[in-house]
Amino acid sequence: MPIGPDLAGRVALVTGASRGIGRAVALALAEAGADVVVNYRDRTVEAEAVAAAIRGLGRRALAVAADVADSEAVARMVARAEAQLGPIGILVNNAGIALRRDIEALTEAEFDRTMAVNLKSAWLCTQAVLPGMRARGWGRVVNISSGAARNAGVMGVHYNASKAGLEGLTRGYAARVVQDGVTVNAVAPSLIVTEMIRGREKDLARAIPLGRLGRPEEVAQAVLMVAGNAYMTGQTVQVNGGMLFN
């Protein structure tokens, strides 16, 4: 039995895949054999570059602009992706925003937008691809959570709530689709080198027992692990250099 996943013949959709963790996940899935839909909202040049890199690995790729917090945009994205690449068998809900706000400064609009992008989008995308996964008897959903679902974090209560909700969504779906051949898991990175924490790397690294920040590729390794495991579902995998244990 091979240790690494063989995703040849599978089509993966990665939301928020133009940079950072999403980019690393998209490339890792392609390296494992999957064709990849690279979702993005505004960064066309970066998304097309990711798609080009995937094609350079010998896989098919499609960059699709869509606000995944909008149900109609999600429906159009999935329809276009499946028409061009085939049925989506792997969904990685990575899209998210991280507005750093203190309690007193947080506005209702900012709270609502955070919940829409970080939590509602995962529900919309899962609802869009799940019927096909269940009908075919195979599917993998991986939600990118955060250590902030379980500790104070550095962004604010809105971010905490969105990521905690994402882990609840993970368990709720996992319990209901496991007998259909579909697994649903979460990967929860903390303090990864991305634009989200740029400029604060040295200060934040002091809080990590390992002594450094994580790399997007290390998060992608965890995503590949759960995508390749048919027996693991409803779990949250922590990727945080020893900051937090389950």
Whole-angstrom distance, CA of residue 166 vs CA of residue 16: 16
Q: CB neighbours of 145 closer than 8 A, spacing ≥ 6?
A: 163, 166, 167, 170, 186, 187, 188, 236
Is 5 inside any structural domain? no
Contact predicate 68/97, CB 8 Å: no
Is 155 inside any structural domain? yes
List 187's β-bridge partners, or say none: 144, 237
User: Is 40 known to be catalytic?
Assistant: no
Give the pLDDT confidence score for residue 195 in this predicted structure: 75
Is 62 inside any structural domain? yes
Answer whether residue 245 shows pLDDT above 90.
Answer: no
Selected catalytic residue, list 40, 159, 173, 231: 159
Give the pLDDT confidence score for residue 3 in this predicted structure: 61
Round to the nearest angstrom and report the end-to-end CA distance of the chain: 28
Parallel, antiparallel, or unpaired: how do β-strands 61-65 and 90-93 relate? unpaired
Parallel, antiparallel, or unpaired: how do β-strands 35-40 and 11-14 relate? parallel
Is 130 inside any structural domain? yes
Is 57 inside any structural domain? yes
Q: Name the pLDDT band for 2 (thresholds 50, 70, 90).
A: low
Overall domain count for the chain: 1
pLDDT per residue as tens digits for the range 50-101: 999 999 999 999 999 999 999 999 999 999 999 999 999 999 999 999 999 9
Is 4 inside any structural domain? no
Is 2 inside any structural domain? no
Is 90 inside any structural domain? yes
- Full domain range(s) for residue 184: 11-239
212: domain CATH number is: 3.40.50.720
List 14's β-bridge partners, or say none: 38, 92
